[in-house]
Amino acid sequence: MLLTLPLSVISPNPNQPRKVFDTAYIAELASSIAAHGLLQPPTVRPAGQGYQIVAGECRFRAVKSLGWSELECNVRDLSDHDAGALSLIENLARRDMQPLEEARGLYRLLSHGGTVAELAMRVGMSAATITKRLALLDLSAELQGHIAQGLLPMRVGQELARILDHENQRRVAQGFFNGEYRPEDTARVVDAFLSDAAQGTLCNGETLQLIRTAPEARTLRVKTEKAADALRRVHDHLDRHPTADREAAELLGLIAKTAERLAAQAAH
């Protein structure tokens, strides 16, 4: 239902997914509205003694900057869940939302119930994309801040989120800031870190450098994992195999020689 409402009874949605509004865009929109009129009325819903914006807050801000006293609106009676979905869909359509804004909006919709697959159909995103966006919320507040400021690429953040401990997230992220690996290398770096952590060791700067530069880095990892598995089997049967110490030394020597060779290649 279309109604002309005083601006004084219209309020922004406190759960609006978009928290950062481009003032330059609002100014351009205001100029367009002044020249051509408002082509698409904002959508609002009844709220208390007035109305709450569901979709079209940029248009609301634009006409307010023009000094308008009233605004034609599309009034709909929507639940919190439906209003949140409509607001997020409109913002996603513009494709200039910050990744964390998207993530928080998606999380809010999921908190009302339903599955990721159902949400994907509703907002027009793939389930995989939604899962990756939500992963950003598992990052530390510090790393989330870096993403919001454009200092940390979203694809790097999504991979770092696989590390559950915030301190270790920061530690591996520091390698990126130090130039030790590129965004496209992050998955392998995180894989290496998680593998090392599972074996009770930690991925150091030299390992990160090998992953970034050595063309045989994947081969090194495969050989290392196979050698480590064999070494564990040897120690599991230590009492029954008198030659266990010699076999263990040989395996460790293989790991060391492979790493030295790749380090030499990466240096050239």
Active site residues per annotation: 57
Cα(13)–Cα(46) distance, rounded to whole angstroms?
12
Cα(242)–Cα(185) distance, rounded to whole angstroms?
42
Q: Which residues are CB-neighbours of 52 under 8 A, at least 6 positions away?
A: 10, 11, 12, 13, 44, 45, 46, 83
Buried b (16+ CB within 10 A) or exposed e, 56-65: bbbbbbbbeb
Structure tokens at 30: 């205001």
